[in-house]
Amino acid sequence: MAFDLSNANGFSAVNGAAASLAGAGQDLPIFDVERVQLQFSIAADFVAAQVANNVLVIALSNGRILRIDLNRPEDIDDIDLPKKPSEIGVIRRMFLDPTASHLIVCTSGGENYYLHSQSRQPRHLARLRGVSIESVAWNPALPTASTREILLGASDGNIYESYIETSTEFYRKEDKYLKNLQKLPDGPVTGLWVDALPGRADTRRVLISTQSRLFHLVGKVGRGHDGSGSIYTKLFDGEQPVIHELSRSSTAAASALAISPDAQDSSKPYEDMAPDRAFAWLSSQGVYHGTLLANSAGSELGNKVFAESKLLPRSQLATSDNTGRRKSATEYIDAIALTQWHVVCLVGNRVVATNRLTGSIVYDQVILDPGQKAIGLCVDLQKNTFWLFTSQEIFEIVVRDEDRDIWKIMLSMQKFDAALQYARSPAQKDAVATASGDYLISKGLYTEAAGVYGRSSKPFEEVALTFIDNNQPDALRKYLLAKLGTYKKTSVMQRIMIASWLVEVYMAKLNSLDDTIITKAELSETLSPAQSEEHLTAIRSEYQSFVSKYKSDLDKQTVYDVISSHGREEELLFFADAINDYNYVLSYWVQRERWSDALRVLKRQTDPEIFYRYSSVLMTHVATELVEILMRQANLKPRNLIPALLEYDRNYKGPLPQNQAIRYLQYVVNQLNSTDSAVHNTLVSMYASHPSKDEAALLAYLESQGDEPRFDPDFALRLCIQHHRVLSCVHIYTNMGQYVQAVDLALSHNEIDLAAVIADRPMSNPPLRKKLWLAVARKVISQSNGIKTAIEFRKRCDLLKIEDLIPFFPDFVVIDDFKDEICDALEDYSRNIEALKKEMDESSATAANIKVDVAALDRRYAVVEPGEKCFECGLPLLSRQFFVFPCQHAFHSDCLGRKVLEQAGVGKSKRIRECQVQISKGLVSGAKREAMIAELDSLIASACILCSEYAIKRIDEPFIKEGEDKNEWAL
């Protein structure tokens, strides 16, 4: 068997307009009916059918059940009941839960069976024997392993609670318990529905329908555990239902309860606010339908649900069909189904779809052939599909985009929020917004209209003039904000104009509120002065949010002019701060000499240029605070702050330790380790020019610079001389190596101790050191009252002798005053003479020894064996002229000369070649030739090339040279 879902033939909308609409490129009709082609043959008729979760279950008159997965229609489960129809009767009804996990099968003989989706063997429900089930309310939790607690409505008016699970054990029953909850005297229970109210897990709502009454019951249920007992008993015993009753009813008319399916296509934005489920009760009077509200509990909810529900009269469906014939107003409705927005009715052989909101018929088409009778109208609650079954055929009722016109309906009902929710295209949303705004204006709700108009395309000037003419500045402000948010970034001019206008509106509003607060007047009938203060804070906050969000759309100069014209200082500065125009903010506070505010702004800055620009004026008035800020800025160039520091120092009259310019420069020098000479020269200048006589700070700085100062010594020296900083000048002279000038300057200011210290500095130059000490000694002798002072001073230097000091004494000095010193000096001279004589004797003895050694050299010789070879070329040594060294190395004279030429310096090599050329060419003769030969021999044979310094210079040469046999050195 195979099952084909392809369309055999279709039934289009009223008057057959589908083809023309599709051909014209317009939207297809909302409803259409397609006959499903069956590609399998069966000998029996369909007697019942159900669809859930894309699973189709068909019951045949021969007792077989076909279970078809619509996703794989080629696979069909063919299931037989345990007994033949002759024993239990034909299948009368089937109930399939929304997940397609549980199927209850009812036969005409009063037998009931349960079939699980994972099983092919129906199980008999013994406790339900004889119960003629007319309706089932599945558990709202939609379990799949078992049914959990469900409600069953019987044909005799009884309502049961049961719990059914799959059991593989023979002695266990599938129906764990059966509890009779209530018996209604109205006849069959034609419909049951149970759902859980949001946020209240233990609360259930139950809908019960009969031929003449509809019950709405809400309350808490008991706690059950795996079918241990009834949970609905508490609800049915403890709560009273809200009842909707017909004044008259007919038992000949069908009765049913239908619930709308789950909302589909959640990708659409309006599905974030999916509508509540709808219900419909089919009775003899028509279709009573409404919304299953969930915003309250108890009887109030039932009253509200029924109060908002309405009846679709049976007579309304007796319209003309596409044949043009008038239908009978007494014709009953056979079955109903609910879509999200429509009621689908089976009236005779016609399918009629009616909009729930308007009651208008949107589809009316004859589907069944004459004499053909439908066995059921089914809805797949989870997949939102709709099916019509006859004894031999299956039809699918196709629903296409049924909510596309809902926005129009909501708009006509003046439900603007709902209309906007379901509007899709920009044109639809614009139409809703325009209509909503016009309605609100007509009601005098200007502020509410402003937000709506902001999303519409209604002419800008028309809306703005409406608010202006009606003196509604708040509404105008709201409208401008909304409108500004709709323009794209590319609409530069529009955004700038609206944003600038908003600034003007904000300023006017703030001024108005300020006036109200100051004068303690009533701004309006509803706003007191106290409330005005709160309103002022709110408007100011709103303005700040506006500026922060739309600052890129605000023209700087225009906003400055507008806010300044209103005198709004706080708002002006907030705008400048928001656009990072810190120059303006700082300039503003500086002009008003509000230094603390200026510093507060400056603390948040990182741009060095701002510090350079305002440092002069701020150093003048708030130097200490500014220096604190400057010392926290690591990206500044101190050189650029020097003008401001010098200007501050020029006007500063306080003590040196409190000079903030010097404090900052000390930080730069000591903490930042600046090497910039300009910084160091500035610091020296400030130290030197300070009126204080104390040079301690300047000297400490100069000494900290060491031998390689960062400042310019010449510049520092000129400053120190100009400002009479003697000690500092002396220090600089000393560091520059000008000891004479340093000593002279120190002595000119009677700084004898300092001069003495400096005189000891040139330890590597004794003559200079002695000269300096003589200058100091002269000053000491000239100032001393007695000779002893001078004599004591002489002891401080080891270079000075008494004879050096005698010329400095006055002409009439009594020699007795330093007789002892003269005697000591003469004794020293005597000791020195004796030492010199001893050295002369030792030198004479040494010279005599040298003469003896020289004479012995003339008799020195070396023995050369007959077979001895040259250490350079390896040939017999006696073959030609040779040299023998005391180290016993011997070389041919030409071999030795060649090696000496290779290793000797440029000058020596040049002289050797000159001598060789002159001797070989006979350019000299006689005594000159002998002298030149002796010179050449001395140049060549001055040292052995293997033992002397020649060998040391060749230490980096390898033992084995390129081209030599490496095996010669092998061990």
Contact present, 289 and 297 (Cβ < 8 Å): no
Total number of domains in the chain: 4
CA max distance for the chain: 170
Residue 920 structural domain: 877-958
Residue 964 has pLDDT above 80, yes or no: no
* Chain mean position to CA 702: 52
Q: What is the dihedral of CA 758, 760, 764, 767, to 10 degrees?
A: 100
Q: What is the value of pTM for the model shown?
A: 0.58
What does the pLDDT read at residue 388? 95
In sequence order, the 6+-apart residues with CB closer than 8 A to the CB of 682 are: 642, 645, 646, 665
Encoded tokens for 738: 């000008």
Q: Is there a single domain that holds both residue 896 and residue 944?
A: yes
Report d(CA 864, CA 870) in Å as an integer.
11
What does the pLDDT read at residue 271? 40
Q: Is there a single domain that holds both residue 130 and residue 240?
A: yes
**Of 640, 642, 596, 638, which is closest to residue 618 (Cα–Cα)?**
596
Report d(CA 9, CA 545) in Å as an integer.
63
In sequence order, the 6+-apart residues with CB closer than 8 A to the CB of 921 are: none
Q: Is there a single domain that holds both residue 420 and residue 456?
A: yes
pLDDT tens-digit series, residues 651-679: 888 888 888 888 888 888 888 888 888 88
Tell me if residue 298 falls in helix, strand or coil. Answer: coil
Contact present, 256 and 336 (Cβ < 8 Å): yes
In sequence order, the 6+-apart residues with CB closer than 8 A to the CB of 529 are: 516, 517, 520, 521, 522, 523
Question: Is residue 511 a part of any domain in this protein?
Answer: yes
Residue 401 has pLDDT above 80, yes or no: yes
List the single range of 93-107, 114-128, 389-403, 674-688 with lowest mean pLDDT.
674-688
Report d(CA 839, CA 127) in Å as an integer.
146
Q: Is there a single domain that holds both residue 170 and residue 222?
A: yes
Backbone angles phi, psi at 442, to 5 degrees: -65, -25
Encoded tokens for 926: 């006689």
The more confident residue out of 38 and 65 is 65
Residue 825 has pLDDT above 70, yes or no: no
In sequence order, the 6+-apart residues with CB closer than 8 A to the CB of 366 are: 11, 321, 322, 323, 349, 350
Q: Is there a single domain that holds both residue 216 and residue 262?
A: no
In sequence order, the 6+-apart residues with CB closer than 8 A to the CB of 904 are: 912
Q: What is the DSSP letter of 869?
A: B
What does the pLDDT read at residue 1? 42
Encoded tokens for 117: 């989706």
pLDDT band of residue 149 (cuts 50, 70, 90) is: very high
The more confident residue out of 675 and 161 is 161
Q: Which of the listed ranges 19-23, 196-200, 413-417 does the model predict with the highest average pLDDT?
A: 196-200
pLDDT band of residue 10 (cuts 50, 70, 90) is: very low
Residue 713 has pLDDT above 50, yes or no: yes
Amino acid (one-letter) located at 346: L
Report d(CA 573, CA 563) in Å as an integer.
10
What does the pLDDT read at residue 16? 33
Encoded tokens for 100: 């397609």
Angle at 104 between CA 219 and CA 213, to 5 degrees: 45
Mean pLDDT of 446-471: 84
pLDDT band of residue 497 (cuts 50, 70, 90) is: very high
Mean pLDDT of 736-747: 69
Residue 782 has pLDDT above 70, yes or no: no
Question: Is residue 805 a part of any domain in this protein?
Answer: no
pLDDT tens-digit series, residues 715-728: 887 888 788 777 77
What does the pLDDT read at residue 21? 34
Q: What is the DSSP letter of 751?
A: -
Q: Where among 519, 535, 553 does a domain terminate?
A: 519
Q: Is there a single domain that holds both residue 265 and residue 356?
A: yes
Q: Is there a single domain that holds both residue 371 and residue 251?
A: yes
- On average, the pLDDT of the chain sits at 81
Question: Is residue 226 a part of any domain in this protein?
Answer: yes
Amino acid (one-letter) located at 737: G
Question: Is residue 298 a part of any domain in this protein?
Answer: yes
What does the pLDDT read at residue 590? 83
What is the sign of the dihedral through the CA atoms of 862, 865, 867 and 868? Answer: negative
The more confident residue out of 749 and 415 is 415
Report d(CA 305, CA 706) in Å as an integer.
97
Residue 460 has pLDDT above 70, yes or no: yes
Residue 908 has pLDDT above 50, yes or no: yes
Encoded tokens for 422: 């379901």
Report d(CA 370, CA 8) in Å as an integer.
19
Question: Is residue 835 a part of any domain in this protein?
Answer: no
Mean pLDDT of 23-28: 50
Residue 519 has pLDDT above 80, yes or no: no
What does the pLDDT read at residue 2? 44
What does the pLDDT read at residue 232? 93
What does the pLDDT read at residue 11? 45
What does the pLDDT read at residue 911? 83
**Of 90, 94, 91, 92, which is closest to residue 103 (Cα–Cα)?**
94
353 burial level (CB within 10 Å; 0-12, 13-18, 19+): buried
What is the sign of the dihedral through the CA atoms of 690, 696, 700 and 702? Answer: positive
* Chain mean position to CA 156: 68
Mean pLDDT of 799-813: 51
Q: Is there a single domain that holds both residue 430 and residue 469?
A: yes
Angle between helices 623-630 and 608-621 (to 10 degrees): 150
Report d(CA 20, CA 13) in Å as an integer.
11
Quickly count: other Cβ atoms within 10 Å of residue 39's Cβ.
12
Residue 683 has pLDDT above 60, yes or no: yes
pLDDT band of residue 229 (cuts 50, 70, 90) is: confident
Question: Is residue 796 a part of any domain in this protein?
Answer: no
pLDDT band of residue 273 (cuts 50, 70, 90) is: very low
pLDDT band of residue 205 (cuts 50, 70, 90) is: very high
Residue 249 has pLDDT above 80, yes or no: no
Encoded tokens for 749: 């200011």
What does the pLDDT read at residue 215? 96
Q: Strand 112-116: give its sheet, edge to edge.
A: 91-96, 102-107, 112-116, 123-124
The more confident residue out of 674 and 251 is 674
For 11-65, what is the HEC assignment? Answer: ECCHHHCHHHHHHCCCCCCCEEEEEEEEECCCCCCEEEEEEECCEEEEEECCCEE
Q: Is there a single domain that holds both residue 265 and residue 229?
A: no
What is the sign of the dihedral through the CA atoms of 216, 218, 224 and 230? Answer: negative
What does the pLDDT read at residue 180? 94
What is the sign of the dihedral through the CA atoms of 671, 673, 674 and 679? Answer: positive
Percent of the chain with pLDDT over 90: 23
Mean pLDDT of 618-632: 86
Encoded tokens for 152: 């069953």
List the single range of 315-319, 487-491, 509-513 with lowest mean pLDDT.
315-319
Mean pLDDT of 203-211: 94
Encoded tokens for 212: 């003449």
Residue linked to tokens 């092919």: 120
Q: Where among 501, 519, 537 does a domain terminate?
A: 519
The DSSP bridge pattern shows strands 112-116 and 76-80 to be: unpaired
pLDDT tens-digit series, residues 66-95: 999 988 888 888 999 988 888 999 999 999
Q: Is there a single domain that holds both residue 129 and residue 241?
A: yes
For 815-852, what is the HEC assignment? Answer: HHHHHHHHHHHHHHHHHHHHHHHHHHHHHHHHHHHHHH
* Chain mean position to CA 599: 32
What is the sign of the dihedral through the CA atoms of 540, 546, 549 and 554? Answer: negative
Q: Where among 229, 245, 261 does a domain terminate?
A: 245
What does the pLDDT read at residue 183? 94
Contact present, 585 and 577 (Cβ < 8 Å): yes
Report d(CA 848, CA 362) in Å as an integer.
149
Angle between helices 595-602 and 582-591 (to 10 degrees): 160
Give, in order, the Cα–Cα distances in Å from 959 to each of 113, 962, 965.
Answer: 112, 10, 11
**Of 604, 676, 601, which is closest to residue 645 (Cα–Cα)?**
676
What does the pLDDT read at residue 429? 82
Mean pLDDT of 934-958: 80
Report d(CA 497, CA 493) in Å as an integer.
6
The more confident residue out of 331 and 301 is 301
**Of 467, 537, 531, which is closest to residue 505 (Cα–Cα)?**
467
Residue linked to tokens 């309310």: 137
pLDDT band of residue 8 (cuts 50, 70, 90) is: very low
Residue 173 has pLDDT above 50, yes or no: yes
Q: Is there a single domain that holds both residue 359 and residue 472?
A: no
In sequence order, the 6+-apart residues with CB closer than 8 A to the CB of 618 are: 590, 595, 598, 599, 602, 626, 644
Assign residue 133 a region: left if phi > 0, alpha if psi is -120 to 50, beta otherwise? Answer: beta
Question: Is residue 140 a part of any domain in this protein?
Answer: yes
Mean pLDDT of 468-492: 86
Residue 481 has pLDDT above 80, yes or no: yes
What does the pLDDT read at residue 797? 57
pLDDT band of residue 756 (cuts 50, 70, 90) is: low
143 burial level (CB within 10 Å; 0-12, 13-18, 19+): middle
What is the sign of the dihedral through the CA atoms of 253, 256, 259 and 261? Answer: negative
Report d(CA 702, CA 197) in Å as an integer.
88
What does the pLDDT read at residue 40? 65
Report d(CA 540, CA 513) in Å as an integer.
10
Residue 523 has pLDDT above 50, yes or no: no
Residue 13 has pLDDT above 50, yes or no: no
Q: Is there a single domain that holds both residue 376 and residue 269?
A: yes
Report d(CA 522, CA 942) in Å as an integer.
124
pLDDT band of residue 192 (cuts 50, 70, 90) is: very high
pLDDT band of residue 318 (cuts 50, 70, 90) is: low
DSSP H stretches of helix in 787-926: 787-794, 802-805, 819-857, 893-903, 906-920
List the single range of 127-141, 156-170, 310-324, 755-769 with lowest mean pLDDT.
755-769
Question: Is residue 534 a part of any domain in this protein?
Answer: no
Mean pLDDT of 521-542: 70
